[in-house]
Structure 1
Amino acid sequence: MMEIEKIMPIWKVENGAMLSMAGDVTIAYSLRLPEIGTSSAKDFEGLHQAIVKAMGVLQPGTVLHKADWFVRRSVGLNEVKRQDSLAGAGEREFAGRSFLDHECFIFLTRKPAARKLSSSAYSNILRKSIAPASVADEKLLSGFLASCGQFERILLDSGMLGLSRLGDDALSGTAGSAGVIEKYCFLLGRGQRPVIRDVHLQDEIRVGRARCELYTLADVVHLPALCGSRLTYEPYSTDRTSYSIGFATPLGMLLDCNHVYSQYVFIGDGRKTIRELEAKKLRLQSLSGYSRENAVSRDAVNDFLNEAVSTGKLPVRAHFNVLCWSEDPLEFSDLRNKVGSAMARIGAECKQETDGAAQIWFSGMPGNAADFPMNDSFDTFAEQAACFFNMESGVRCDGSGLRLGDRLSGRPIFLDLFQGPMKSGRITNRNLFVCGSSGAGKSLAMNHLLRSLYDEGAHCVTVDVGGSYRGLCDLLGGYYFSYTEANPIRFNPFYIGEGDVLDIEKKESLKTLLLSLWKKDADDYNRAEYVAISTAITLYYEYLAVHPEVFPCFNSFYDFLMHEYMEVMKDGKVKEKDFDLVNLLYVLNPYYKGGEFDYLLNASENLDLLNERFIVFELDNIRGHEILFPVVTIIIMEMFVSKMRKLKGLRKILAIDEAWVAIAKSGMAHFIRYLYKTVRKFNGIAALITQEVDDLISSPIIKETVINLSDTKLLLDMRKFMNKFDKLQEVLGLSDKAKTLLLSLNKDNAKGENYRELMLDQGGQHMQVYRNQLCLEEYLAYTTEESEKMQVEAFAALHGGIAAGIAALAAEIRSGKRKL
């Protein structure tokens, strides 16, 4: 047993730098990498070139140590953001789910000029104590810091990486949080409190109860024959697209175990390296007659020298290793298979390090990269070394918003789709476009989004033609308007709810409605008719103020026209030749009591549409009706405009699901255009959902208005439209990267889990694939399958409410008593 203080390589931490006992100076950066799956082949190539360029500005004698830490964590219940029963059930469903948490660091170390190179036989871990040496001189240190600044600026200018320098507390830690040195020595994850563990290095590496194994790429014979900036990931690729991942991603996010992937690049004197290789080539030349292996090695060294001289590439030495660990004996026994499989994906040979493992582990301590045993490194160029850098990270979470799932692990990801992206400039409007083939999960996704917005205080208005939102509306206690013979659809546009007044907006809404009911074309009226109806509406509400016993509705308005307003006309205040009241009464008579449509405008319940936060209009049974459908759509649109203008500071969304075709055909296309151009100014969202690709391609409304003015797109599985995809891609304005992501949906879903994937595209800047994975309670509330809806309704009737019914049904399904 040895106290670590005796051989601790780090002497002190000050001014944001680590000083080693040997006189090395190290500064550290936290690196933010692109999310896995979001980079195209062009992105990977640009990132690769930026790294090579950044390495080119580092001084000779600098060690670049990039460490990617992947630590398995579990989703905790403390991450629940909302407390209502349905959202709470969703959070509890995923509590305890395992995922890899990724942190990435870059350590730049400058060695003193006279520092002796370490090896497996000469490493500080083999000593009984270490005495501090003199730190590098001030001139050398200032040059090192200047090169680090250039290195940082080049990476930031790539536009794909985030870099932040670590301060003293992040390096050395505090009483309440572990620094990077403690994290490495004691295998601590993000947010774990400091803890001291025994480290065993004699016959194996053991930290506390965790057993570790070390696998290296330390010799050219173990390297792949070819390397590049990217790989094609076959499970997500199609005949038309190649899904790109980073070349080293199989050793990163795709390696499902606790591990640290370390990448070392040793920047030396290029001219000195070439001289040494020239001498080596001559030695091999003289020995080539005795062994064919020497002749092959001579030719390899000669090729390396020719490329270095002809292209001006930077010769470096490099080393890569994976340190993995587990406390579970069964998982530990499988680590070799996992790492070997990951190495095979990049064409490399897996070598388990045993005798030299302790020296390599010791040099991996942040700030101690200069003590790396150089006999375990190999000569290469900066371009090839950069190929082995891990360039992808996990999916990031906004902390609030719509709950989706990480594609790899199913970890809950909360996405702020509207507010944050508007502030950052990623999007310029909040409009939403949702598209996918039949059965792709559009209704489930929209139900989930609407409930999420409702939980955040938004007013949600949905126009539907299939009954997809009935369950959610009943659960939230909203207004649900639908038409059946026994219970036809009813409105009361004349009712003014609490907090509302007869303002210009309300009067204009009523005038538009009355003119549309009277005239075949809503624009076919003269000025006198417009003024007469405006006057009638004003006088009617004055009449109501004097007669509070009169209920505001179309019937009482019609009575007012027949009696009170007729007297106004007789007094000569309105000329009969300018306004034909008799004709108006005759045309509007079907909507008056006793008429064919007397129910339509005389509702006595569900009246306060302005203040009701969740409203669904189900128009399936009337979308072909020449009278009812135009009237209903006018009422819906005018009602939403009223919400939009009067509810200051509140989020509003109008979601039109499949009904947009009928709405456009009924002369309301101009309203859709107006809505998409205006709703942004009132903190609103216009959302359109469709599955008809032919309509999508041929509709000028969609192409010219909806898609152009929808910065947020939720796209679901479209593989059914593969033969039409080129035209579809053009209409949707998708890049080739977006096309690749879209065609990868649901190609390699996790076995045994029920979910559908969707692709989010925001302003063409952020594109990612997520799971729309629901808990059983959410699925039962959102389902559109008739047999499942009938079961939910039956349990709701039995248990006295839909919330209790869903909970009881879910409990029986989980216990195996009932199947969906």
Structure 2
Amino acid sequence: MRNILKSATLESKFPLLSVEHDCIISKDAEITVGFKVILPELFTVTSTEYEAIHSTWLKAIKVLPDFSIVNKQDWFIQENYEPDVQKDELSFLSRSFERHFNERPFLNHTCYLFLTKTTKEHSRKQSNFSTLCRGFIVPKEIQDKETAVKFVEAVSQFERIVNDSGFVKLARLTTDEIVGTNEHAGIIEKYFALSQEDVTCLQDMAISPAEMRIGDKLLCLHTLSDLDDLPSKFQTDGRYEKLSTDRSDCRLSFASPVGVLLSCNHIYNQYIFIDDHTENLKRFEKQARNMHSLSRYSRANQINKQWIEQYLNAAHSFGLTSVRCHCNVIAWSEDHEQLKRIKNDVGSQLALMECKPRHNTIDTPTLYWAGIPGNAGDFPSEESFYTFIEQALCLFTEETNYRSSLSPFGIKMVDRLTGKPLHVDISDLPMKKGITTNRNKFVLGPSGSGKSFFMNHMVRQYYEQGTHVLLVDTGNSYQGLCTLINRKTKGEDGIYFTYTEDNPISFNPFYTDDYQFDVEKKDSIKTLLLTLWKSEDDKTSKTESGELGSAVNAYIKKIKADKSVTPCFNTFYEFMRDDYRQELNRREIKVKKMDFNIDNLLTTLSQYYRGGRYDFLLNSDKDIDLLSKRFIVFEIDSIKENKELFPVVTIIIMEAFINKMRRLKGVRKQLIIEEAWKAIASANMAEYLKYMYKTVRKYYGEAIVVTQEVDDIISSPVVKESIINNSDCKILLDQRKYMNKFDSIQNLLGLTEKEKAQILSINMDNHPSRRYKEVWIGLGGVQSAVYATEVSLEEYYTYTTEETEKLELNNLAEKLDGNMELAIKQLAESKRNQIYET
């Protein structure tokens, strides 16, 4: 049946002919190659790096032949986070985290790049010659085989130059990605649906200058198509004031206001038209002469002549290439009132670029049509302005939103800009990529910065992924999480050791179940004994260290030979007092007391021997079963001021962790030391700390030190040598209260200016309706970003260190027969209802 309606079909106007060899062929014989572009993440690029990216684009574009079109198309689509709560292995807290972010809106960014080879004749077409207004006429000049081959070769060079830069990555679009498959929509279908989802059903289009509509989506268009609309000066990047301080700069690309910072559905199109440079300059020479001859009739002609001459002088003086450029923002909404707000938002963001917002109500259909992938040759030439490649590239958006890690292992953090949950791997993937050489971490955050919440959040997720976690804590920060794990596992896990006078922590450093003592075990015992003997200010001589090591070796031989001797500190002390002292006296070469004073050693260690003040500490008659327990907390807050007891207890816990580490093959292990390191950061402990930090890497483990006092890390050379230099992952929280001291922190941690700017931006522009604290994570000085630690109410009440909230939770748990999980659920739900009511 013949179509008698006035409306046209998409088939009759469709400008594309076919897709062959991953190239789009238009009905005007134009060839287009498409790429998906991976840009750097937001707030992670410095001014120097923006210039390097700009330089890369410049080098790449210069290899393209004349009458080529570069169309960079950035899609920003509002989506809602869809939690995956159906997984069977999800824990109670993981499921509550996912539910907390259910339907959380965020702006998803997808970037494409299309390189089109058009013809000289077609490049000069105006809007009244668009395929929307006419049939298809085969151009006089069409692409021959040689032209096509040269263009494809140039595109390959373009791709290589960009990918070699290390900042931007191009992935060639395949035929299936362009035209789609039975299961997935192609980019052309997505463009006609204004969606990045798999939409395979085309919608009606209403095309008119007054209003353009695709389905229910109403379009508005803002253009940068005239020199009068542009700022007087272009630059690659600019200062983002909201996250900058007087000591640091946060940088974003020049066009970022219409990129990720414009929070509505929109497409940002950037076009660069490469014409015949020589012909362009000849045309301008002719125009300048005409303007000069007409200058007597109008002063404007004389001024225009001067502008043209400046353009020609710049082109000849600096070897710049003359091109045409155009940018537009296509935004849409399904509601007229909301569309008005979007128009204002787009206009205000363009004004932030110092551009004149121009709402185009005439050329919306033709500019939308030219944006079809592969149809850039249909662009109306009157909508472009002349400039140079360098200036045109400043209008490119050069950053994207945060991306999740592809690694199966990691932790859930949150995008600081949109609030979208992200999967971040800060242990395995950086090691595989060579960014880091170990998994150790150093955490610095003052009181109130959210340090405890972040650590609880990280440790909980590591535990749920099979990690054996051992914590040395001094402030009950992990009591809630440990109690929850303990109740959940019915006492099989989540072991909480605390020091009390009635039930002190005791160990046996000489105990092994198989009497096997390797070199590392012997060294750790020797280091422990030196710590017990020497004060913080005393230095250990080589003779003292050697003799004590020999004594440990001799004692181990004795207990192996005589199984009636119980391995413990008491029998070791007796061996030193009776056997080893006599052996020293029998030697031909005597050891002077000033070199190794065994009497002083025995006197100092007597308080740990039978009948001494601390005789319980090293003579435990039972081995603490650390091997099978995956979550263990040693809370030693009550002895943290005891200069004799605290370092010994801490060292033995660490030695016990190393023993656990050696025996569990292929299992991830994590040792976390909170403020305890301050008591053990003596000269005698330096070698042991270095040894532990270097050894843990070899056994699929990681050591984490957490501190809040800046002065401690600045004043302790042991911490710098033993901990900081062996921690490739550094985690810092809000440092603004140390703003005046930050230069020394920066020098100590070896932070770059980029990392400094990121750290000082923490919590500066937090969303008022969301409750979270930000955290900076740096990996090997190569990769760094600021994330948000946002948790559900269930997680909040599990992690909280507020005494009143902990009491409220514990009292509720007692009423529920000790069911901590149910108590957390009920408390969180009641608080949530209170928030809704208010």
When normalised by structure 1's length, the TM-score is 0.91
> After the TM superposition, which of the residue ranges 149-158 and 292-301 deviates more from structure 2?
292-301
Given candidates 458, 462, 466, the residue that maps to 1:453 is 462
The answer for the alignment partner of 2:637 in structure 1 is: 620
Unaligned runs of 5+ in 2: 1-6, 487-493, 535-539, 588-597
Write the letter of the residue equivalent to 1:290.
Answer: Y
The answer on 1:50 being equivalent to 2:72 is no
- Correspondence 1:357 to 2:369: no
Residue 501 of structure 2 is matched in structure 1 by: 485
Q: Comparing 21-30 with 294-303, which one deviates more in the overlay? A: 294-303
The structure-2 alpha-carbon separation of the partners of 1:561 and 1:680, relative to structure 1 and needing over 3 Å to count, comes to closer
Matched residue type, 2:264: C
Mapped contact 2:472–2:650 kept (Cα < 8 A): no
Q: Would you say the 8 A contact 2:411–2:423 is kept in 1?
A: yes
Local SS of the residue matching 1:707: helix
Pick the aligned partner of 1:414 from 423, 446, 465. 423
The C-alpha deviation readout for 1:500-543, integer Å capped at 9, x for no partner, is 64322497489659956996699485688535532454367x45
Give SS of 1:398's match.
Answer: coil
Note if contact 1:23-1:133 (Cα within 8 Å) is conserved in structure 2: no
How far apart are 1:561 and its partner, in Å?
Answer: 10
Alpha-carbon distance in structure 1 between the residues aligned to 2:431 and 2:699: 14
Q: Which residue of 2 aligns with 1:84?
A: 91
- State how far apart, in whole Å, the 1-side matches of 2:308 and 2:233 are: 17
User: How far 1:147 moved relative to its partner?
Assistant: 1.5
C-alpha deviation, 1:618, in angstroms: 1.9
Alignment-derived partner of residue 158 in structure 1 = 165
* CA pair 130-272 structure 1, distance change in 2 beyond 3 A: closer
- Partner of 1:126, secondary structure, is coil
Give the 3 Å change call, closer, same or farther, for CA 443–351 of structure 1 in structure 2.
same
What's the counterpart of residue 106 of structure 2? 99
Q: Counterparts of 1:99-178 in structure 2 under 5 Å?
A: 99-115=106-122, 117-127=124-134, 136-178=143-185
- Deviation for aligned residue 1:345: 0.9
Aligned residues: 800
Counterpart selection for 1:690 from 675, 696, 707: 707
CA shift in 2, pair 1:790/1:492, >3 Å: farther
Q: Identify if the C-alpha distance between structure 1 residues 578 and 96 changes in structure 2 by more than 3 Å, giving closer, same or farther.
A: farther
Contact 2:216 2:334 in 1 (8 A): yes
d(CA) in 1 for partners of 2:423, 2:546: 50
Amino acid at match of 1:716: L
Q: Deviations over 1:783-812 (max 9, x none)?
A: 222222222322232322332222221111
Considering only aligned residues, what root-mean-square deviation do their CA atoms show, in Å?
3.3
CA contact (8 A) 1:480 1:618 kept: yes
- Say whether residues 1:395 and 2:417 are aligned partners: no
- Asked if residue 729 in structure 1 is aligned to residue 736 in structure 2, the reply is no
Match of 2:555 in 1: 533
The counterpart of 1:41, out of the listed 47, 58, 62, is 47
> d(CA) in 2 for partners of 1:527 and 1:41?
55
Rounded Cα–Cα distance in structure 2 between residues aligned with 1:182 and 1:131: 26
Aligned partner letter, 1:691: Q
Cα distance, 1:617–1:296 mapped onto 2, change above 3 Å: same
Specify whether residues 503 and 303 from structure 1 end up closer, same or farther in structure 2 by C-alpha distance, changes over 3 A only: same
Q: Which residue of 1 aligns with 2:801?
A: 784
Which one is further off, 12-21 or 77-86?
77-86
- Tell me which amino acid in the other structure corresponds to 1:808: Q
Per-residue CA deviation, residues 468-508 of structure 1 (Å, 9 max, x unaligned), is 12112222222222223344334465776xxx643224974
What is the rounded CA distance, in whole Å, between the counterparts of 2:421 and 2:703 in structure 1? 26
* Matched position secondary structure for 1:68: strand
2:206: which partner in 1? Answer: 200
Residue 436 in structure 1 maps to residue 452 in structure 2: no
State which drifts further: 625-634 or 123-132.
123-132
Instruction: Determine the C-alpha separation between the residues in 2 that align with 1:538 and 1:513.
Output: 21
Give the distance between the partners of 1:491 and 1:64, measured in 2 at CA.
Answer: 70
User: Residue by residue, what CA displacement relative to the aligned partner does 1:42-79 show, whole Å, maximum 9, x if unpaired?
Assistant: 00111111112222121111011110111111111227
Question: How far apart, in 2, do the equivalents of 1:309 and 1:511 lie?
Answer: 77
1:25 partner letter: I
Aligned with residue 771 of structure 1, among 767, 781, 788? 788
Choose which of 656, 665, 669 in structure 1 pairs with 2:686. 669
In structure 1, C-alpha distance between the alignment counterparts of 2:150 and 2:157, rounded to whole Å: 11
Partner Cα distance (2:362, 2:835) in 1? 57
AA in 2 matched with 1:402: I
Sequence identity (%): 41
Whole-angstrom distance in 2 between the partners of 1:731 and 1:501: 44
* Residues 463 and 631 in structure 2, CA contact (< 8 A), matched pair in contact too: yes
Amino acid at match of 2:638: N
For the residue of structure 2 that corresponds to 1:797, the secondary structure is helix
Q: 1:548 — aligned with what?
A: none
Of 219, 237, 242, the residue aligned with 2:244 is: 237
> What displacement does 1:331 show?
2.7
* Cα distance between partner residues in 1 of 2:161 and 2:550: 70
Residue 385 of structure 1: how far off its partner (Å): 0.4
Q: Distance in 2 between matches of 1:363 and 1:510?
A: 72
Matched, 1:19 2:25: yes
More displaced, 465-474 or 247-256? 465-474
In structure 2, the partner of 1:254 is 261
Q: Verify the 8 A CA contact 1:117 1:371 in the aligned structure 2.
A: no
1:597 Cα shift? Answer: 4.3
Correspondent of 2:323 among 304, 308, 316: 316
Shift of 1:214: 1.1
Q: Is the 8 A contact 2:84 2:98 kept in 1?
A: no
Separation (CA, whole Å) in 2 of partners of 1:284 and 1:666: 82
Report what 1:654 is aligned to.
671
Q: Scaled by the length of structure 2, what TM-score is found? A: 0.89
Task: Kindly indicate whether residue 323 of structure 2 is the aligned counterpart of residue 307 of structure 1.
Answer: no
**2:832 is aligned with what amino acid?**
R
Q: 1:468 aligns with which of 458, 477, 480?
A: 477
- Distance in 1, matches of 2:226 and 2:18, equals 34
Does the 8 Å CA contact 2:650/2:676 hold for their aligned counterparts?
no
Query: CA 1:308 to 1:484, structure 2 compared with 1: closer, same or farther past 3 Å?
Result: same
Q: Does the CA contact (< 8 Å) of 2:527 and 2:688 recur in 1?
A: no
Cα–Cα, structure 1 residues 458 and 388, in superposed 2: closer, same or farther, change >3 Å? same
Name which of 26, 36, 57 aligns with 1:30. Answer: 36
Amino acid at match of 1:473: C
Contact 2:440 2:726 survives alignment (8 Å): yes
Residue aligned with 1:71, SS:
strand
Task: Describe the shift of the 1:326–1:593 C-alpha distance in structure 2 as closer, same or farther (beyond 3 A).
Answer: farther
